[in-house]
Amino acid sequence: MADWTTPDGVLTGELAAWALDSATDAIIVIDEAGLVRAWNRACVDLFGWSQEFAIGRDVDFMIPPRLREGHHRGFTSAMDRGRLASDGSARRTKSLTEDGGSIYIDMTFAALRNSEGEMIGAVAVARPASDRDTPTHGRKRYTGPLVDVTFDSALCNHNGQCVRNMPEVFDTAKRPWINPTTADAPALEQRLRTTVANCPTGALQILEVGQPADDPTAG
């Protein structure tokens, strides 16, 4: 039995950590310098980086390079003003993942305040974006010169067929493990299309370069 006796009835220490780790949404706490101070288990599942890697590191590691400047500007201004511009509604954005891919997520932001009400950081809560408004419908996307590949880890049964059929693109020992940049000639592109089409679970799909990203015929 847990000891629920806490000062002022507020969850602290281990109890607070258990609550964070039991949440099914990814919860990221960053301090006033933008360093990650909490990274729950759902973050590990969603983004791939371990708690040991993430905690204490600048949150930049998960932000695509082209979005970093905007993040810095917005966060610095929020810390100066003592409040976030966000109204708390979910915002769709893109995050990098540990395997070298990227994923669309729906994220809410809140100011983290101390007992005096001072803003001392921010709390972000994220879950995969999975509806049709999302270019890859929550799947990770790997970009190549002739064709892109998307991957849904929830569908993969790890039978290894793609790795056996086209090891120059699919290599679980490498990061990213899917690398369509090596399919840079028509014959290789055709082999990639065939390999993806033969994925028995639908975990792999083709997304054409230049094709409207939410085209329902993708794949």
Residue 205 CB, shortest distance to ligand SF4, in Å, is 10
| Phi and psi at residue 57, to the nearest 5° | -100, 150
Between 106 and 137, CB nearer to ligand SF4? 137
Residue 151 CB, shortest distance to ligand SF4, in Å, is 6
- C-alpha 136/C-alpha 153 separation (Å) is 13
Between 88 and 160, CB nearer to ligand SF4? 160
Between 59 and 204, CB nearer to ligand SF4? 204
- C-alpha 210/C-alpha 183 separation (Å) is 17
Between 192 and 203, CB nearer to ligand SF4? 203
Q: How far is CA 180 from CA 32, 79, 122, 142, 157, in A?
A: 39, 41, 36, 7, 21
Q: Which residues sit at the interface with ligand SF4, rule CB under 6 A?
A: 156-162, 199-201, 203-204
Residue 156 CB, shortest distance to ligand SF4, in Å, is 3
- C-alpha 69/C-alpha 10 separation (Å) is 36
Decide: helix, strand or coil at residue 174: coil
Residue 202 CB, shortest distance to ligand SF4, in Å, is 8
